[in-house]
Structure 1
């Protein structure tokens, strides 16, 4: 077995072209080997940064290529389960964009196919590979701010003008929660090591998709509140508020696009005053780190940081939000 993992991408999606394609190409131990698209024009930007990239005219042709070892799937949400199962059946390891499934129960077939095949299948939940999130998990679990009493999350942008975007279409599994709710849900679950209980929510709907939501819950010993929206000014933040301090992430979800990845640790220094300590991560690329972690799992047997069981838990929380939500 070669040390380098040869990757194929199903479809010439914009996100794959701008983020994951370059990440695979630049990652240690990875080669962007093939792309499935019937359009030479759509393949050209990929071939510009990955010379020699092989183009297949169909997804099936790429899955039949014996040189392709791992497949990245950036297709619309409603196609993720279908093509993940097809790729596993073809003997390929799979990294699929989030949300990997539309309902928590859909993960059961993916987990079964993964276990039966002995292949690695995972959701492309890139933030868990970023050192800022690994550091926050370490800080909270070590009690650096005492017992966390409240967790809050915010993530918003405005894409109302982009009416043809798959995120604005119900038939392709669009909506704010599936697109960005996974971040404010999953990151809190990861850091706290707990599942949400006593969930309540409010959702504003537009043409069959959720465009804004506010969620409240209990997460371990803490209360939890978060909002996401695809109809508000861009903003993102996560805060873990403890008895003896506070941890704030200023660009938790897409650092280097929204801003520099930075952790603020707020702690009381003395009566009437305090201190803010900062840790910065200006160069970390969580997309590349994700590809490299995937490769280490294949080559060295290292535990993958975001297994399907974790992703299923986030989807289960989302399912509960949809089930209990009132109109906003």
Structure 2
């Protein structure tokens, strides 16, 4: 077992990589940012500010050929995720790819096979499962804190109509509210409960330019009803609520706690008794990188394996089927 830090390269100087993941790799224990692939020296500057010795490659293939890189983080547009994950695996690199790692569940089956064949760590960057807020929520649920679960409600929205060129507003890059943020309402529900949807009961979707900008859906799970919405055209809001026969568990700022607000769990029980647990300062991006590095160096099971990601994408596929249309 090696104690050397995992040496990371980033494919593309995306805004999210610049603002969140590069700093997270820089701060994470057991990780070292060593390389970036970008065609622009100007875009490389903020990354070099973190790591002056950064090796900048001017093509993605050049970074994958760099023997000093152990693992790659892929923040490319959604439609490029599978292609470059496969190329990274072929180059012998561990891979952490932004969500959604694929646009169809069947594509993740291919990645699972390649992961198993290569022995590499390959995963989707579904960061919330690493946050203590969500780990505690799952623990409370399993302990029976709210009794028999009957209803899960969630909503996640923001407004980016002023940025029509954004990849989330473009069908050719796999945009839309469901691929971008529906993964959170659906995936978090699956994470806490351990259940899979039996049926999508309704899917009301508003389309704009080939992408979904508003989606409201309901689903039947084996033991509860699910209702959630996502939008890229509404005032920012994010909340998840798990409603049981003996209590309600409400998660505030469940998806972007360091940006949207403080991560909290409100537990409503008994005679309107409310207890609140707070999780200030936890950075789920740093925790995600550290978990990934432990999997690479120590062989620890990764908290969000591709099999879990496949389950969320399978639910999204069910939504498209119910709606009778996919993005594009």
Q: Is the 8 A contact 1:192 1:219 kept in 2?
A: no
The number of residues matched between the two structures is: 323
Q: Which position in structure 1 is the counterpart of 2:254?
A: 252
Moved more, 48-57 or 157-166: 48-57
What SS does the corresponding residue of 1:8 show, helix, strand or coil?
Answer: strand
Q: Which position in structure 1 is the counterpart of 2:161?
A: 160
Q: Which position in structure 1 is the counterpart of 2:82?
A: 81
Q: Is the 8 A contact 1:149 1:221 kept in 2?
A: yes
CA distance in 2: counterparts of 1:129 and 1:198, whole angstroms: 28
CA distance in 1: counterparts of 2:141 and 2:106, whole angstroms: 30
The answer to whether structure 1 residue 202 and structure 2 residue 200 are counterparts is: no
What residue ranges of structure 2 are gaps of 5+ in the alignment?
none
Please state how far the C-alpha of 1:3 moved relative to its aligned partner: 2.2
Moved more, 236-245 or 214-223: 214-223
What SS does the corresponding residue of 2:249 show, helix, strand or coil?
Answer: strand
Q: Which position in structure 2 is the counterpart of 1:190?
A: 191
Q: Which position in structure 1 is the counterpart of 2:217?
A: 215
CA distance in 2: counterparts of 1:326 and 1:69, whole angstroms: 42
Task: State TM-score, norm by structure 1.
Answer: 0.97
Where do 1:45-64 residues align within 5 Å?
45-64=46-65
What residue ranges of structure 1 are gaps of 5+ in the alignment?
none
What SS does the corresponding residue of 2:102 show, helix, strand or coil?
Answer: coil
Task: State TM-score, norm by structure 2.
Answer: 0.97
CA distance in 1: counterparts of 2:223 and 2:45, whole angstroms: 52
What SS does the corresponding residue of 1:257 show, helix, strand or coil?
Answer: helix
What SS does the corresponding residue of 2:257 show, helix, strand or coil?
Answer: coil
Q: Is the 8 A contact 1:96 1:123 kept in 2?
A: yes
CA distance in 2: counterparts of 1:253 and 1:233, whole angstroms: 15
- Cα-Cα RMSD: 1.0
CA distance in 1: counterparts of 2:298 and 2:199, whole angstroms: 40
Please state how far the C-alpha of 1:198 moved relative to its aligned partner: 2.1
Please state how far the C-alpha of 1:278 moved relative to its aligned partner: 0.6
Which 4+ residue blocks in structure 1 deviate beyond 4 angstroms?
none
Please state how far the C-alpha of 1:2 moved relative to its aligned partner: 4.5
